[in-house]
């Protein structure tokens, strides 16, 4: 039996961030992952600028592309573009990015076990024992960072519904189809989601996200998107991977109990509008580590972490969910409206940069829709804003 203060299960962005911050705070930490790194991970690999505040120094070394231009289409037609003087996002290859984060945790003093699947988690007195490979590891706290289908969550917390979305993606050689710093985003043919192409130097990541219940449509939607984009290379079926996108449904999922905290996808903390998960993974890993380092006891730690997620993360996710509802019920209308006012997308860029929240964005959307509806009604009725007829009766 090897004793630690904290055992973190899963060495993705959530787990490696939590482990690194804990070790920097003086905790004895073991980070366990069933894979050996570098390992492939189905993911678009897009980092929003707001993610950077939770990353160690030197992230530039794993960035493949800084995104400054985006082309938006509706069912592969009606394109319009948005160009930004500053990066809208950063694109990474997950095997490189995750290996870099794990290495940062090791440098901070974290003990890492790679290629070791967790076989069992048992409650032992005031702590927990994690049996990984042929080793028994004990700690007062276990952090579950093991993805949307978390073993830690399944063993130690109440059941929850499946992830909200499912995605099919592939990362393939760009094969003479360079996109430069331009991302492609297509809407209208993907219930609840969208299709994308993210350039990464000598590679391009292509994917489609839809509502979980429409997962059977993924391959058809993916094939249609690739076929209708002449700037994309062919994508072999063998390179395509399916993965859940762990955005919440209508209510928060349980993310803590005495001695157990869930972070990232394990807590279903992904953006319900864009499907972005890395930001919420890194942020929740950071929050979990900070709460554990306060050393208030297992029960109080769980309550404080759940309170942090409830107050600091969930309001934004709920607002993002409502933005998604508005957009995906009328994608043609929204695409047309945004094509007339592409500058409006700067507000979404503002959310990704951390300059404003989804709650603020939602408020502005409602105000603009209300104003547009009012103008439409006044035109139809030929009345002015004060309600008087626009043409005086003779």
What is the rounded distance in angstroms from the CA atom of residue 116 to the CA atom of residue 145?
A: 15
Tokens of 64: 């493949």
According to DSSP H, which parts of the chain are helical? 13-24, 94-107, 151-156, 218-227, 278-293, 298-308, 314-329, 331-340, 346-353, 358-381
Please report the pLDDT score of residue 279 as a whole number: 97
Condensed to tens digits (0 to 9), the pLDDT of residues 265-310 reads 999 999 999 999 999 999 999 999 999 999 877 789 999 999 999 9
Domain ranges for the chain: 2-315, 318-381
Q: Which residues of the chain have pLDDT under 70?
A: 372-378, 380-394
- Look-up of token digits 């030929």: 382
What is the rounded distance in angstroms from the CA atom of residue 288 to the CA atom of residue 307?
A: 11
According to DSSP H, which parts of 25-157 are helical? 94-107, 151-156
Condensed to tens digits (0 to 9), the pLDDT of residues 321-365 reads 989 998 988 999 889 988 888 877 888 888 888 888 888 888 887
pTM value?
Answer: 0.91
2-315 — its CATH code? Answer: 3.50.50.60
């Amino acid at each position: 039996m090897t004793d630690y203060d904290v055992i973190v299960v899963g060495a993705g962005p959530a787990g490696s961030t939590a482990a690194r911050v804990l070790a920097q705070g003086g905790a004895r930490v073991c980070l366990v992952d069933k894979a050996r790194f570098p390992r492939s991970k189905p993911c678009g690999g897009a980092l929003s600028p707001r993610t950077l505040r939770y990353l160690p120094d030197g992230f530039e070394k794993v960035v493949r592309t800084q995104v400054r231009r985006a082309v938006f289409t509706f069912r592969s037609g009606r394109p319009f573009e948005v160009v930004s003087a500053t990066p809208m996002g950063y694109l990474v290859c997950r095997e490189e990015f995750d290996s870099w984060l794990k290495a940062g945790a090791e440098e901070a003093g974290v003990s890492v076990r790679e290629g070791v699947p967790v076989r069992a988690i048992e409650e032992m007195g005031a702590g927990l024992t994690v049996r990984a490979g042929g080793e028994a590891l004990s700690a007062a706290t276990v952090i579950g960072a093991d993805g949307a289908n978390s073993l830690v969550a399944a063993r130690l917390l109440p059941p929850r519904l499946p992830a909200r979305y499912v995605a099919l993606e592939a990362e393939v050689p760009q094969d003479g189809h360079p996109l430069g710093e331009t991302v492609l985003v297509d809407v209208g043919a993907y219930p609840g989601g969208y299709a994308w192409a993210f350039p990464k130097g000598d590679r391009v990541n292509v994917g489609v996200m839809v509502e979980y219940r429409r997962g059977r449509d993924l391959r058809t939607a993916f094939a249609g998107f690739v076929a209708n984009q002449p700037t994309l290379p062919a994508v072999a079926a063998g390179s395509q991977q399916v993965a859940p996108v762990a955005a919440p449904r209508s209510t928060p999922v349980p993310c803590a109990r005495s001695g157990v905290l869930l972070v990232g996808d394990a807590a279903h903390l992904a953006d319900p509008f864009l499907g972005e998960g890395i930001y919420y993974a890194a942020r929740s890993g950071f929050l979990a580590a900070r709460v554990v380092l306060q050393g208030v006891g297992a029960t109080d730690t769980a309550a404080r972490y759940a309170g942090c997620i409830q107050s600091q993360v969930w309001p934004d996710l709920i607002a993002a969910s409502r933005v998604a509802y508005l957009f995906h019920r009328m994608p043609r209308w929204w695409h047309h409206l945004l094509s007339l006012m592409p500058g409006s997308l700067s507000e979404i860029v503002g959310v990704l940069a951390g300059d404003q929240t989804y709650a603020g964005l939602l408020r502005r959307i409602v105000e603009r829709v209300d104003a547009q509806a009012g103008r439409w009604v006044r035109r139809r009725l030929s009345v002015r804003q004060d309600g008087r007829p626009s043409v005086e009766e003779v």
